[in-house]
Chain A
Amino acid sequence: MDITQLLKDWFKSDKTEVDPSLLAYVLLYSTKNVTGLVDILGHLVSFWKEGDPTCRTKCIELLAQVVTPSQSALDSSTINAIIQFIGERLSDPVLVPRCIDIYLVLMNTNIISSTDVIQLCNAIFSSIKVKKLPQHSRFKILTILSKALEKYANEIQRSKLNFIGGFINCMDSEKDPRNLLVAFELVRTIIDRFDISRHIEDLFEIVFCYFPISFAAASNDPFGITTDDLKDSLRKCLACTPYFAYYATPLLIEKLMTTTGSAKKDAMETISLCAPAYGAHAILPHAQDLFDALVREVYQCSDSSMVDVALQTIHNVVATLGTGISIANIRDPVEKAIDSLLQQCVSELKEPELKNARSAAYILRAAASASDPACTSVTHTALPIIYQQYKSTDPSIRQKAILDILTELLLANRDFQTPLLMYKQQILQIFILSLNETSDTILKQASLGGIHEMVLMKQFLKGEEVNIVINHLTRQLMSTEKQLRYQALTTLGVVAKLYPTILGQLTFPVLLDELPCAEKPIDLPDSYRDVLDAIGVLATHPAVFNIVIHPLLNKLDYACGTIGQQNITYVHDIASTLLHIYKTASAKDGEALVVGQKVLLPSILLKCIPAAIGVPDSWYLDNKLIEVFAMIAAITTRLSTPSDQQLSINDAIKLFVDNDFSNVPSSFEQQYIENNALGIFELNKTNACIDITLLFTAIIGNCCKEVKLCVASVPAFLEKLIQTATKASCDTRRLALSKIAASIINKWANDDIVNCVQTVSNDCLLPTIENVGDINIRRSTFVTLVWIVKSLIIKGHRYGFELLDSIIKLCGSPDLGKDAAESFITLLHQDDLILSKPSHATVSVKKLMQCSESVNILQPELQVNYLLALSHLLQNIPAQVATNEISRLMLPIIVALSSRDKNLILSMLTVAQGIVPDAQETVVQHLGSFIHALLRLTRFQSANVRMMALDCLCSLPVKGKPETLSPFKPSVIKELSTALDDKKRIVRKNAVDCREKW
C-alpha cells in the first residue's frame, strides 16, 4: 500500500497508538529510500497543518518512534530537517517531552553538525520552559547540553548563541539530586571551556544558592546518590575558578559563622578546597574573620572530627596566604594575617596545663606547617614564651603540657628547620632535663616523644648533640618501664639508619656489657631479654650488624659452651636473636651475607660438629638450637651464588655421608671420628649426642636446581634416605632425612626419581602404614610419607595427589586419623627451612569436603579428624578460596564449633573469624545456628575458647548489616550477660566489647 494512504488512514482513525505494523512499514520505507524520512516529514507537515491537537500529538509520537530505531541511519540533511521541523513546533507544552526525546536521539548521533547543535540549543533556550517539565525531561535537557559542550564547545562559544545564559535558565530552581549532579558537572565544563567573565555573578548565584546542601538521601534511592556526592560536586564547582572568590569568600565566612553541625563542617571543607583556588589576594581581606571563626571551632567544639577539619582549614588558608604574593614583601601579609591568631594562641599558652593551651598548640602546628614564612613567624613568637615557662621544679602536669606543646611545634617544623635551629640548645636541654630529673613515667614519655621528633628532623642535631641524645636514649633502654624502653628503642632504630657507627660505639658496648662472656663471667641479669630485644631491633641494619656480629658470637660461644646447660632459655634467646638480625640484615645487604659465609656459619658449624660427635667440653646443643642454626645455614645457602652452593654441598656430603673430616680445620681424636655419629645413614650411634642432620638438610634444601648432588646415583641415594628415615628411631633424624628426601624430589625430580618414589611408596611406605602392627612404626613411616607428598604437591605432580587421597582416607582410621588430620598443617603450611613455595590447595578442598560428608553419617566419632583436617586446610589456603566455598563450609564449621574437642574448636574459630564476618550475606540462613554455637562457646571450660568465641561474635556486627542481625540481637544481649560475669577478667573485657558492638 502507498505510504501516503497508510498515514492518512491512521491519522483519520481513532487510534492514538502507533501500530507495530504501521511502524514497521514506515521504517521500511524510510530505509529503502534515501530521502525516506524527509518524505515522511513532508507528510507530517501537511497533517500538522490540517489536523487538530490529537493529530499533532500523533505526528510527534510517530516521528519519535521512527527516529529512535533509525538513529544510526540518519544523515545530516535529515537531522537538519528534523531539527527544523521540531524547532517550529515547540509551542505546545504537551508535546515538548516527546520532542526532547527526539532531540536526545539526534544529539547521540555521530554526524550531527555544529550548526545543527547550535540550532538545537537555541530552540531549547528560546522555546522550552524547562522549569515546568517533569524531572526526566529536565534530566534529558541537561544531558543534551552536556553532549553539546562535549562535541562543539568551541563552535558554540564562537556562535552568537548565549549558551551560558540559556543554561542558567535551564538550571534555575532545579532540585532533583540526579539532575543537580549533571548540572554541577556542566557548570564546571562551562567554567573550564568558556569565557565566563560576563556571567560570573549569574553563574555564581545559580551555584551558591545550593550551599550548604541539606539533602537526606533516601535509603531506597535506585541511583545511590549520597549527600557527599552532591556536596563534593558543588564544592568542586565553587573551587573551579578564582573569579568566584569575590562573591564566595564573604558568603562562605558568613555561613561558617552562622551555621552549626554538618553545614558548618561543609563550610570549612569548602573553604579548605577553595582557598588555594582563590589565592591569597582574595582571602587576605577576610583573613581576620575567617581565623576567628575557625579558631573558635578548635577551642570550643566537642567533636574531634570537627576540630580536625577546622585545623586542616587553618592549614590550607595559611598555606594560601603564603603563595602568590610578591617575593619582596613575602613576610608582611602572612605575618599580618596570622598575627591576631598568634596573639590569642600566645596568651593561651601561658597556662599550658589548661585545655585551651593544647588547642592553641594544635592551631600553631596547623599554621606553622603550612608555609615557610608562617613557620618562621610562629616559631619566633611562640617558642621563647614556651621555653621560658619551663621549670623543672613545676608540677609534672605542667611540665608535660609544655613538652607536648614543644613537640607539636617540632612536628610543624619537620619540613622547615631554619627557624628552630636558633632555639635548638634550649629545646634539647628541656627535653634531656625532663628525661633525667624525674621519675614520672608520663613526663619521660613526653620527653622521648620530642626527642624522637628531633632525631627525625633532617640535619637538626649535629656532632656532640647526637652523642648526647644517643647516650640518654641508651640509658632508657635499661629502664624498668616497658613503654619507655619501647620508645627509646624506636628512636634508636631511626638513629641506627642515620648514624650506625656512633650507635655501634655508644649503645652496643652498654648493651653487650649486660650479657655474660668469658672475659666477664657475670650472673645473667633478669633484664637480659630486654637487652636481646634491643639488639634484635637495632642490629638489623646492615652497617650495625657488621659491627656487632663478632662480640655477639663471643657471647653465644660463652652461652653455649659454658653456661648453656643451666640457662637453656637464655641460650635459645641469644641464638634466636642472632638468627633474626642475620636474616633481616642479609636480606638488605650483601655485606652481611659475606659475614655470614665467612664468619657466622663456619664458627657455628665448627662448634656443632664436636658436640655432635661426642667430644667432651663442647657446646651445649638441643633441638631448638639446631633448628636455629639450620635456619642460619639455610639463609646463607639460599643467598649464595650457585658455585658457592656447589662447594658447600660437596663439603657437606663429604662430612655427613662419607665421614670425611679432612675439610674441618680442627682435629679430633680418632675415636670420635670412627664413631661416625654424623653419618646420616648410620643409625646405631649413641643416644647421648645431639643429632645435627638438620644442618645438612638446610644446606641441601636451599640449593638451586643447577647444583649437582655428587653421589653415585641420585635415585639410589633417595631410596636409601627414605628407607633410613622410616627406620630411624630418633625423631629429629627421621624428620631431617624426610625433609632431605622431599627437597631432592622437589628439586631434581625426573622420571627415574619419580619411579623410585613410586616404588618405595607402593612397596614399602603404604603397606607399612596399612599393615604393620606396631603403631609407632606406622606413625614414623607416615611422617616420611607426608613430606614426600608435600614435595610432590608443591610441584603439582599427579602422583602427589594420588598419595594425598590415601592420606585423606587415613583421616578415617581410628589410630592414625589424628596424625592424618594434623598432617595437613605440614602439607599446606609454608615451611621456612625448605620447600618454601606456595602449594596448590584448591583441588583438595572439594575432595576433603566429599570425604568429610560421606564419613559424617557412618562414623560420627571419626568426624572430628576430618573437621580438624578441614580447619587446618582452611587456615592454610588463601581466604578467597575459602570464601567462595563458604555456603558449603558453614555446616562443618557449625558442627565443629558444637563439638567438645578444644583444639578443633580453637582451630575452627580461627577459620570462622577469618571468613564468616565478611560473608554474612551469603550465609544468612546459617547465621542463627552460627551465632548460637558461638554463644554456647562463651560458656566453654577453656578461657581461650571463650575469648575467641566472643571475638568472633564481636566481629559480626562490626562487618555485618544491622537489618540482617537485628533478629538475633535480643538473644545475644541476653546470653552475653553470663559472659559479663565470667570468672576471668580478660574474658569479661571481650564480653563488654562484644556487647557494646551488638
Chain B
Amino acid sequence: MSQNLINANPTIYNTKTFVRKETEAEFDDDIEDSIDSQEIFDLIRSISDPEHPLTLEQLNVTQFEHIEVDNQINKILIEFTPTIPHCSMATLIGLCIRVRLLRSLPDRFKVDIRVRKGTHQSEGAVNKQLNDKERVAAALENNHLLEVVNQCLATASLRGAQQVPSN
C-alpha cells in the first residue's frame, strides 16, 4: 500500500481547538445532557487516516462545524471532506465513521454520512454506498476490510486528547 499513496503529502491542520469545558454540571445527576455535535465530533475526531499515521481531525477530513444533531427527530448528519477530490479512500473513511458511530451511539439515531458538497468527484456514488445499510453490512463481512477499519478505529478513543503518536 505504501508504494502508491493516493495523497502522499497532505496538509496537516492545527487541532484541539474544540475542547469541552468541564463543569460541575457534568456530574449533576439531575441535569440531562443531550447528545450534541461536540460529542459526535469527539467520537470521530481521532480516527486514523488509512494512509497516514494522522487523525481525520489533523487532516481536516472531519470538522466540528460539519456535524448536525437533532435530538427531537433522532437524526444526525455528518459531512466529511476528503483531502483531494479523487480520493479513493473516501468510502473507506466514511465506513470507518459509520462503524464508529454504529458501535458508539444508541440505535434510536439515524445517522447520515455524506461527503461535503463539491469536495469529491464521485460524491453521489460514495454517499449512496455509505448510507445503504445492506452495502455497509456486506462490506463489514469482508474480514480484510473489517481489519483495516478496526485499525483506523484503534485510536478513536483518544477523542483528540493527544495526537496519534507518530514519533
Binding site for B on A (CB under 8 A): 260, 296-297, 299-304, 307-308, 311, 348, 351, 353-356, 358, 362, 365, 396-397, 400-401, 440-443, 941-944, 977, 980-981, 983-986, 988-989, 992-993, 995-996
Contact = CB atoms under 8 A, between A and B. Distances in A.
A921 to B, nearest CB: 26
Nearest to A986: B26
A72 B33 CA distance: 80
A355 B52 contact: yes
Contacts of A396: 14
B27 A299 contact: no
Complex A-B, nearest 6 residue pairs according to Cβ-Cβ distance, in ascending order: A981-B106, A304-B53, A985-B33, A983-B32, A300-B2, A992-B104
A235 B53 CA distance: 28
Given A304-B165, A355-B11, A297 B27 contact: no
B14 A397 contact: yes
B121 interface: no
B39 interface: yes
Contact of A988 (B12, B35, B164): B35
Q: Identify whether the interface residues of B are mostly helix, strand, loop, or mixed.
A: loop
Interface in B1-38: 1-3, 5, 8-17, 26-27, 29, 32-33, 35
B49 A300 contact: no
Contact of A984 (B15, B17, B29): B29
5 contacts: A297-B2, A304-B165, A401-B12, A985-B33, A989-B42
A467 to B, nearest CB: 30
Contacts of B48: 302
Given A304-B166, A995-B104, A984 B33 contact: yes
A356 B7 CA distance: 11
A985 B1 contact: no
Contacts of B54: 355
Given A302-B1, A302-B52, A977-B106, 7 more contacts: A301-B53, A362-B166, A440-B14, A944-B27, A977-B107, A984-B29, A988-B35
B122 interface: no
B43 interface: yes
B53 A311 contact: no
Contacts of B84: none
Interface in B30-74: 32-33, 35, 39, 42-43, 48-54
Given A993-B157, A996-B157, A442 B103 contact: no
Contacts of B29: 941-943, 984
Contact of B10 (A301, A303, A355, A443): A355
Contacts of A993: 157
Nearest to B10: A355
Given A300-B8, A355-B12, A988-B35, A442 B157 contact: no
Contact of A307 (B11, B39, B107, B166): B166
Report which residue of A365, A440, A985 has the largest number of chain B beta carbons within 10 angstroms of its beta carbon. A985
Contacts of A354: 9-12
Given A311-B167, A944-B27, A981 B108 contact: yes
B136 interface: no
A984 B43 contact: no
Nearest to B27: A943
B77 interface: no
B145 interface: no
A993 to B, nearest CB: 5
Given A353-B12, A442-B17, A992-B43, A303 B27 contact: no
A986 B8 contact: no
Given A302-B2, A303-B53, A996-B157, A985 B12 contact: no
Nearest to B107: A977
Contact of B103 (A353, A981, A995): A995
Given A308-B167, A355-B11, A355-B52, A980 B27 contact: no
Given A300-B5, A442-B17, A941-B29, A980 B166 contact: no
B9 A356 contact: yes
A311 to B, nearest CB: 7
Contacts of B10: 354-355
A358 B165 CA distance: 13
A440 B53 CA distance: 25
B14 A442 contact: yes
A442 B16 contact: yes
A33 to B, nearest CB: 71
Contact of B15 (A307, A442, A988): A442
A307 B167 contact: yes
A980 B106 contact: yes
Nearest to B106: A981
A35 B38 CA distance: 92
B35 A299 contact: no
Contacts of A260: 2
A302 B51 contact: yes
B11 A983 contact: no
Contacts of A984: 26, 29, 32-33
Nearest to B59: A355
Report which residue of A300, A981, A986 has the largest number of chain B beta carbons within 10 angstroms of its beta carbon. A300
B53 A362 contact: no
B167 A983 contact: no
A422 to B, nearest CB: 26
Contacts of A355: 9-12, 52, 54
A84 to B, nearest CB: 62
Given A355-B10, A983-B33, A996 B103 contact: yes
B14 A400 contact: yes
A255 B43 CA distance: 40
Nearest to B15: A442
A980 B167 contact: no
Report which residue of B14, B29, B103 has the largest number of chain A beta carbons within 10 angstroms of its beta carbon. B14
Contacts of B43: 992
B39 A988 contact: yes
A71 B165 CA distance: 59
Contacts of A942: 29
B121 to A, nearest CB: 22
A986 B9 contact: no
A989 B161 CA distance: 13
Contact of B8 (A297, A356, A442, A989): A356
Contacts of A304: 53, 164-167
Contact of A299 (B8, B16, B49): B8
Contacts of B167: 304, 307-308, 311, 362, 365
Nearest to B154: A996
Contacts of A303: 53
B37 to A, nearest CB: 13
Report which residue of A354, A355, A396, A995 has the largest number of chain B beta carbons within 10 angstroms of its beta carbon. A355
Contacts of A358: 12, 166
A310 B37 CA distance: 38
B83 to A, nearest CB: 10
B95 to A, nearest CB: 16
A582 B92 CA distance: 57
Nearest to B104: A992
Nearest to B157: A993
A980 B14 contact: no
A355 to B, nearest CB: 5
B105 A980 contact: yes
Nearest to B8: A300
A355 B10 CA distance: 5
B73 to A, nearest CB: 16
A977 B109 CA distance: 12
Interface string B82-125: 00000000000000000000011111100000000000000000
Contacts of A299: 8-9
Contacts of B3: 300
A446 to B, nearest CB: 9
Given A297-B2, A354-B9, A302 B33 contact: no
Nearest to B148: A302
A986 B3 CA distance: 42
Contacts of A297: 2
A304 B152 CA distance: 12
A977 B39 CA distance: 17
